[in-house]
Structure 1
Amino acid sequence: MNPNRVAAMWLLYRRIKRRRIKRKYWIHPINRSREHTGIFYTLFEELRHDGSKFFNFFRMSIASFDELHEKLKNEIQHQNTKMRNCIPSRERLALTLRYLASGCTFTDLHYSFRVGISTARKIVKEVCQAIWLVMKNECIRELSKYQLETIASDFEKNANFPHCIGAVDGKHVRINCPIRSGSMFFNYKDYYSVVLMAVADSKYRFVYVNVGSFGKDCDPSIFKQSTLWQSIQTNSIQLPEEKCLPGTESPKVPYYFVGDEAFGLHTHLMRPYGGTHLTLEKKIFNYRLCRARRYVECAFGILSNKWRIFHRPINAEPEFAVDIVKACIVLHNFVRERDGYLPEDTTTISGLEDLPRAPTARGGLQANDVRKILSKYFVTPIGAVPWQMSKV
């Protein structure tokens, strides 16, 4: 008989035999004591008596947890069966938040919450999907003309950068090697990742996200292919009308996003001047743009340090990893709206890596003209800030 055929038959036999192996326990003895020794039943109520400890454990206040549970409970609650009672919705939410906040593994959840590893995995996936489904429209509203005007007004007040409707950047989110993925998720840093592309306002909130692009992709291509940019190009999103810069009477200047050197210059996307031998005007423009762009960098820093799942590779297939990232984005905005800024909200980015710098096409004449107008404006008495000369 052909040796290859014999080997194939042996592998088939082993696979069939493995399937016939019966589970040793319907519910493992460790998990049977969930309602007596599980962390939700032994610690949760104690934490509710200490607001700071509760916040440290779940990364949100007690009031925020209760509000979030009230919004999600119909989506994440299961029905009891004749065989066994379901895990309550409040416990499901607590388990998921602890997973996202601590960056622990599903095995860790198994031992602490006393649920099966596959059960913990299923709960996290269901709750993350529910967070995005239920909370997305509330926490990441569709960009309207009024909202963009508000964002621009805040950037002018907080960053001294007029007409800016958001700071854009992208980061790699590390994942374990997906099965049969080839090199699509393998990035220039030599690890596997999905890409998180986001736009932030000057209050460190994400106003637009695009999650799930391959790790091998770079900033410009992802942003230019995003639904946001396509909507701008097709006028599906109404941008504020062009206006003169504050304190001037002409010319009129459009509204735009700001990005780093990786992005191509466009009428609606300003980037720094490249090169080393720059004029004073260009250096000051680059400094002022950097001040505006830092808000998205700081937002990423707050995100990754609050939700420490980003501190290690996510042990899940890419689709599940995308669900996790989107849930964290929603929770980031939700907590900032309810609980505000806290000292532990460090803005140092941990676990998220920059995307590669790809060659970009030169901006058109109109885009270059807009950048020149801004450069000149920032060195006038009206547009300058007192400290800028010491920063260039």
Structure 2
Amino acid sequence: MSVNCLMKAGVCAAYIIIKRNCDKRTAKSKRIWMRDYFKDNKNEFLKEIDNDDYLFKNFTRMSQIDYNILLDMIRPLITKRDTVMREAIPAEISLAITLRYLATGDSYASLSFLFKVSTQSISKIVPEVAKSICSALKDYIKDTGDWRVVANNFDKNWNFPHCCGAMDGKHVLIRCPQNSGSTFFKYKGTFSIVLFGVVDADYCFTYVNVGCQGRISDGGVFKNTEFGKRLEKNQLKLPKEEALPGRTLPIPYVLVAVDAFPLTTNIMKPFPGEITRNSPNRIFNYRLSRARRIVENAFGLLAAVFRIFRKPLELTELETAIDVVLCCIYNTCITFYESNLPPEIYTHPLVLLIRKMPVVAKLYPVHGEKRHNQTEVCNHFLQFLGNLQMMLRK
């Protein structure tokens, strides 16, 4: 190889090295280590509202006793160590930030000005605390009741016999997850996940399933839940068929739902189409809707307490969104029952909190739908309730 070739090769190599060094992006130095506003993050206002039970409950959506119980349970999971460079954010502040985020749905920037914590720190605190709450409270969900208790309460409070619960789905709006395409896109033009729930006569959830794609109908979500599979296989241990008072035909215990769900032996839904006024079917639909609206009211109470449900969840990770929804459900259980007595945080009968995210959901048609259960209940209403003027006007 000649000298000229070696010189040319050396020049080319030097050019490449210099070019690469010039193309390297120099690390941008931080302007400041910490803003002066965030250095004084003692949050004295939390100590001030401790003396007022009403303000504290309005701020965190739970009583001080429940707050302290929950804090003691998750403190080992969210406590950080202080370093020589800065002090860690206390566990009390982390829990308060998360509860306030769930209660209002405010942006991280708004919470940053309130608690004097940076938005970057809040973006890590909320998912971590929500996951810790779910992990700490899931072991306190007890199965201590009987379906007959739920059915008796429905008959007593809402005049619908043999009803073990009302079920429906609620779309929780989210930001489109990365690389998900149109998987979570629903027909209304938004991205969402489905919160499927079964509610008793006292507006309390007995089953929750969250995470299914928003494009799937309520019937498809129900079919792919563990609750739906157990109901189909008759593994929920529902009471045996019994005749209504004054009747002879045995009637099964059912769950009431809307038309989106299939009509089966243990699922009752309204008569379809337009129905003539003053007819037995009209009275039946009125009574069933009166019992079924409990699940709608439960979703409304959930959104009223935790207003994060009134706007899309601005969370980048789908798993975080699911943890946030479950965290609201757990805290709602605590709020409704006002436990204050550890460790029985929430001992509602027949609770099955199961998280499942089916990738594919198929809704199969239901053939041979049976209407004799509805007819028998209609006759029951006509015999024992009569043609009430309130119902005839419906």
Give the TM-score band, short-chain normalised: 0.7 to 0.9
Q: Are the equivalent residues in 2 in contact too, given 1:204–1:296 (CA < 8 A)?
A: yes
Pairing 1:263–2:266 present? no
Partner AA of 2:330 in structure 1: V
Partner of 1:378, secondary structure, is helix
* Equivalence for 1:147: 146
User: How far apart are the structure 1 equivalents of 2:228 and 2:306?
Assistant: 28
User: How far apart are the structure 1 equivalents of 2:299 and 2:382?
Assistant: 31
Aligned 1:281-320 pairs, distance under 5 A: 281-317=280-316, 318-320=318-320
Q: In structure 2, do the counterparts of structure 1 residues 234 and 264 end up closer, same or farther at CA, with 3 Å as the change threshold?
A: closer
User: How far apart are the structure 2 equivalents of 1:339 and 1:278?
Assistant: 48
* Equivalence for 2:349: none
The one of 12, 17, 29 aligned to 1:22: 29
Q: Percent identity?
A: 34
User: How far apart are the structure 1 equivalents of 2:109 and 2:21?
Assistant: 30
* Equivalence for 1:251: 249
> Which protein, 1 or 2, shows the higher relative CO under an 8 Å CA cutoff with sep ≥ 6?
2
Deviation of 1:23 (Å): 3.4
Q: How many residues align?
A: 352
Question: Which of the pair has more CA radius of gyration?
Answer: 2
User: How far apart are the structure 1 equivalents of 2:22 and 2:123?
Assistant: 27
Q: In structure 2, do the counterparts of structure 1 residues 98 and 385 end up closer, same or farther at CA, with 3 Å as the change threshold?
A: farther
Deviation of 1:323 (Å): 1.2
* Equivalence for 2:374: 371
RMSD of aligned residue pairs (Cα, Å): 2.6
TM-score normalised to structure 1 length:
0.82
Partner of 2:183, secondary structure, is coil
| Structure 1 gap ranges (5+) | 1-11, 36-40, 341-357
Deviation of 1:391 (Å): 4.4
Deviation of 1:60 (Å): 1.9
* Residues 298-332 of structure 1: per-residue CA shift (max 9 Å, x gap): 11111101111112111013221111111111111
TM-score normalised to structure 2 length:
0.82
Q: In structure 2, do the counterparts of structure 1 residues 14 and 307 end up closer, same or farther at CA, with 3 Å as the change threshold?
A: farther
Q: Are the equivalent residues in 2 in contact too, given 1:264–1:360 (CA < 8 A)?
A: no
Q: Are the equivalent residues in 2 in contact too, given 1:174–1:194 (CA < 8 A)?
A: yes
Partner AA of 2:255 in structure 1: F
| Structure 2 gap ranges (5+) | 1-19, 341-361
User: How far apart are the structure 2 equivalents of 1:158 and 1:64?
Assistant: 29
Deviation of 1:194 (Å): 1.0
Pairing 1:187–2:195 present? no
Aligned 1:346-385 pairs, distance under 5 A: 361-362=365-366, 364-365=368-369, 367-381=370-384, 383-384=385-386
Pairing 1:32–2:39 present? yes
* Residues 187-245 of structure 1: per-residue CA shift (max 9 Å, x gap): 11111111111111111111111111111111100011111111222344222222222
